[in-house]
Structure 1
Amino acid sequence: MVKAVVCGAAGGIGQPLSLLLKLNPSVTELSLYDVVNAHGVATDLSHINTPATVKGFLPADNGAEKALAGADIVVIPAGVPRKPGMTRDDLFKVNAGICATLAQAIANACPKAFVCVISNPVNSTVPVFAETFRKAGCYDPKRLFGVTTLDVVRASTFVAEVIGKPQESSKYAIPVVGGHSGKTILPLLTQSDPQIPSAILNDKEKRDALVYRIQFGGDEVVKAKDGAGSATLSMAQAGAQFASWVIDAAFNGKQRVVQSYIDLSAAEGGEGIKKEIGGDCQWFSVNVELGRDGVQNILPIGNIDEQEQALLKEAVAELGPSIKKGLDFQPPAPKQ
C-alpha cells in the first residue's frame, strides 16, 4: 500500500511520469497536484485498469497539502522547463520559489515521505528543499534525493551507440557522479560494466566527444525541439525508474545501488566521499545503497583514471557555488 504524489503532474514531464507511476503495481494511491489541469490528467489516468486510485488537486482550498496528506513518496517535476539559451542558473530564479513552497507543504502534510526532486537546476533546488525542511524541523537527509538517473540512462545509451551496439544499451551500466548539469556531470567510463573497448577510452577525441554528449545531452533535446520544450519523456522515464527503486527498497525489501544527488551527511561514507573528491561539497551525486529508510549506505567513488580525476576537479569547483545558491535562497515574503 504505497501512496505516491506527483507535484507538477500536468506538465511535460509530469503527465508521462504520472502514467508510469499509475502502471507501477506497488502504487495503490496516486495524487496529482498542479496549478492547472490536474483534475483532467487524474481523470484520464483513472480509466487505466491498474491498482492505483487517482485524484487530482489544484491550489485552491489548500490543495497541495490535501494531495500530499499521508504520502509515502513524492516526485517533483514542478517548475518551468528550460528554453533555448537558458542556463540552469536562469531556471533557478524561477523554480526555487516553487520548490520552497512545495517543500513547506510536504513538511506540513507528509514530513516522513521520501522526496525525489526533478525540478531543475537540481544542484541548487535540492538544497532549497533541505533548508526548508530543516527550518520546519523535519529534515531527514536519508529521505531526500536529487534525481540524476537521466544522466545514467544517457550514458548507457550513448556508450552503446559509440560501440556500435545501440540495441544493447540496457546492458551497459556506467556510474555517473557529481551533479546534474554540464561539467558537474561525471560519467565514470572506466567503471563501465561491461568494459568499454580500450580503442574508445584511449582515443581522446572519441572519449571527449562521448563525455561531452553525456554532460550536455539536455542541450541536444532543447535544440531538437526548437524552443518547444526540453527533455520530458526521457526524464519522465528516468524519474519513474528512480521512484520505483525507492519504493522497492523501502516497501518491498529490494535493496539496490543507484546514483543520486544527496546530502553527504545522510549515511556513513559521506566523509570518505569528501576526501575522494578533494573538496567540501555537502551535496554530491554518488553511489547510494537504498534501503527501508532511504539512503542506507554511501559507497566510494572508487578508482578513476587521470582524465576522470581532472573532470572531477572541474565538477567540484562548479558545484560549490550552485549548492551555496540553494542553501542561501530566501523565498519572497507572502503577499498580504
Structure 2
Amino acid sequence: MVKVTVCGAAGGIGQPLSLLLKLNSKVSELSLFDVVNVPGVGADLSHICSDSKTQSFLPSSREDKTALAESLKGSNLVVIPAGVPRKPGMTRDDLFNINAGIIKGLAEGIAENCPDAFVLVISNPVNSTVPIVAETLKKNNVYNPKKLFGVTTLDIVRANTFISQLFPSDTKPTDFNINVIGGHSGETIVPLYSLGNSGDYYSKLSSEEKSKLINRVQFGGDEVVQAKNGAGSATLSMAYAGYKLAESILKAFDEPGVIECTYLNLDSSIKGAAEAKKLVGDLEFFSLPVELSKEGIKEVKYELLTKINEDEKKLLSVAIDQLSKNIEKGVKFVNN
C-alpha cells in the first residue's frame, strides 16, 4: 500500500505526471493537491480503471491549510511540480521569488503531516528549491537527507536523446544512460558523455559538435519555451522525467541495486557523500548517481568524478561556482 501525493497536480507538469502515477501498479492511493482546477483533474483520473484510489484536495481560501494537510496525511511519496512555469526570456532564477514561497509552504505541510515521506522536488529553480525544503524540514526537526530528491532526470533524458540524434542510423535514445551531474540549470548541468557506452560515439564528434551537444543539453529547456511561443515550458518531458525517478524509487522499495541520478544533500549520514563533497568544492547539494532503497538514498556513486576528462573538469568548475550561489540563495530564503 503506497500513497503518493502530487502537489501542483492541476498544472502542465502535474496532470501528465498524475496520469503516469495513476497507471503505476505500486500506487494504491493517489492524492492530488492544487490551488486551482484540481477537482476536475481528480474526477477525470478517477474514471481510469487502474487499482489506485484517487482523491483531490482544493483549499477553500488562501488561509485554508486543511486541504493540504489532508492530501499529505500518510503519504509515502510526495512529488512537487507546483509553481509558475518559465516564459520566454525568463531564467530559472527569475522564478525564484514566486516559487520559493510556494515550496516553503508545501515543505511545512510535509513536516506536519508526512515527515517520513520521500520528497521529490521538480519546481524550479531546483538548485535553490531543494535547499529550501531541506532548511524548512530542519527547522521542524524532521529532516532526513536520504529522502529528499531534486529531480534532474530531464537532463539525462535530453542527454540520451540528443546524442542518439547525431547517430540516427546506429543508435536509439534507449541505448544510452548518460550520467548528468551538477545541478539543473544552464551551465550547472554537466553531461558526462566521455563515460560509459556514449564515450565511443562522443569521441567521433568534432570539438564544435561536442560543444553544441553540451550546450543543447544545458539549455534544452529554452527550445521548448521558444517553440511554445509563450504558452509554457517543458511539461510533458518533465512529467516523464519526474515519473521516471518516482518509478525507480517505488521499484527500490522491493528491489536492490536501483540507481538514478538526483540532486541531493551531500550529508555525511549517506554513504559516499563525504567523499563526493570533497570532489565538488564542499558543496552541500549536488546531482550524482545514487543507489536507492526503501530507506532512501543508500549510497552516492561518487567514483565517476575521478574518471571525467579535462573538458568535463572545466565544465564542473563552472557548475560548482554557480551552484554555490544557488544553494546559498535557497538557504538564506528560509533562514532570513
Aligned in 2, Cα 1:107/1:303: closer, same or farther, shift over 3 Å?
Answer: same
TM-score between the two structures when normalised by the length of structure 2 = 0.95
User: 1:131-162 CA distances to partner (integer Å, 9 max, x unpaired)?
Assistant: 00000010000000000000000000001001
Higher mean displacement: 137-146 or 293-302: 293-302
Q: Please name the residue that 2:255 is paired with.
A: 253
Answer yes or no: is the 8 Å Cα contact 1:288–1:295 preserved in 2. yes
2:172 is paired with a residue whose SS is helix
Answer yes or no: is the 8 Å Cα contact 1:154–1:217 preserved in 2. yes
Partners of 1:269 and 1:69 lie apart in 2 by 32
**Alignment of structure 1 residues 267-282 onto 2, 5 Å:** 267-277=270-280, 279-282=281-284
**Alignment of structure 1 residues 133-212 onto 2, 5 Å:** 133-165=137-169, 168-197=172-201, 199-201=203-205, 203-212=206-215
The alpha-carbon deviation at position 192 of structure 1 amounts to 3.4
Structure 1 residue 41 corresponds to structure 2 residue 41: yes
Number of paired residues?
329
The alpha-carbon deviation at position 59 of structure 1 amounts to 1.8
Structure 1 residue 289 corresponds to structure 2 residue 288: no
Partners of 1:127 and 1:110 lie apart in 2 by 18
Partners of 1:198 and 1:153 lie apart in 2 by 17
Partners of 1:317 and 1:187 lie apart in 2 by 17
User: 1:261-318 CA distances to partner (integer Å, 9 max, x unpaired)?
Assistant: 00001512112112222x1210000111101111000111340110000000000000
Q: Of 225, 230, 240, which aligns to 2:228? A: 225
Equivalent residue letter for 2:119: V
Aligned in 2, Cα 1:165/1:297: closer, same or farther, shift over 3 Å?
Answer: farther
Q: Please name the residue that 2:74 is paired with.
A: 70
| Gaps in structure 1 of 5+ consecutive residues | none
| Gaps in structure 2 of 5+ consecutive residues | none
Answer yes or no: is the 8 Å Cα contact 2:194–2:203 preserved in 1. no
Q: Please name the residue that 1:83 is paired with.
A: 87
Equivalent residue letter for 1:34: D
User: 1:52-101 CA distances to partner (integer Å, 9 max, x unpaired)?
Assistant: 11000012351001000000000000000011111111101110000000
Aligned in 2, Cα 1:198/1:66: closer, same or farther, shift over 3 Å?
Answer: closer
Answer yes or no: is the 8 Å Cα contact 2:21–2:27 preserved in 1. yes
The alpha-carbon deviation at position 23 of structure 1 amounts to 0.4
The alpha-carbon deviation at position 173 of structure 1 amounts to 1.2
Equivalent residue letter for 1:100: K
User: 1:19-59 CA distances to partner (integer Å, 9 max, x unpaired)?
Assistant: 00000000010000000111110110011011111000012
Aligned in 2, Cα 1:4/1:161: closer, same or farther, shift over 3 Å?
Answer: same
Answer yes or no: is the 8 Å Cα contact 2:38–2:57 preserved in 1. yes
Structure 1 residue 313 corresponds to structure 2 residue 320: no
User: 1:203-231 CA distances to partner (integer Å, 9 max, x unpaired)?
Assistant: 11000000000000001100110010000
Please give the root-mean-square deviation of Cα atoms over the aligned residues, in Å.
1.4
Answer yes or no: is the 8 Å Cα contact 1:4–1:27 preserved in 2. yes
Structure 1 residue 237 corresponds to structure 2 residue 240: yes
Aligned in 2, Cα 1:331/1:80: closer, same or farther, shift over 3 Å?
Answer: farther
Q: Please name the residue that 1:216 is paired with.
A: 219
Equivalent residue letter for 2:77: I
State the percentage of identical aligned residues: 52
1:111 is paired with a residue whose SS is coil
Equivalent residue letter for 2:274: E
Partners of 2:176 and 2:118 lie apart in 1 by 28
Answer yes or no: is the 8 Å Cα contact 1:189–1:196 preserved in 2. no
1:195 is paired with a residue whose SS is helix
Answer yes or no: is the 8 Å Cα contact 1:174–1:192 preserved in 2. yes
Answer yes or no: is the 8 Å Cα contact 1:147–1:242 preserved in 2. yes
Answer yes or no: is the 8 Å Cα contact 2:32–2:42 preserved in 1. yes
Q: Please name the residue that 2:59 is paired with.
A: 59
1:95 is paired with a residue whose SS is helix
Answer yes or no: is the 8 Å Cα contact 2:202–2:210 preserved in 1. no
The alpha-carbon deviation at position 199 of structure 1 amounts to 4.6
**Alignment of structure 1 residues 121-132 onto 2, 5 Å:** 121-132=125-136
The alpha-carbon deviation at position 237 of structure 1 amounts to 0.5
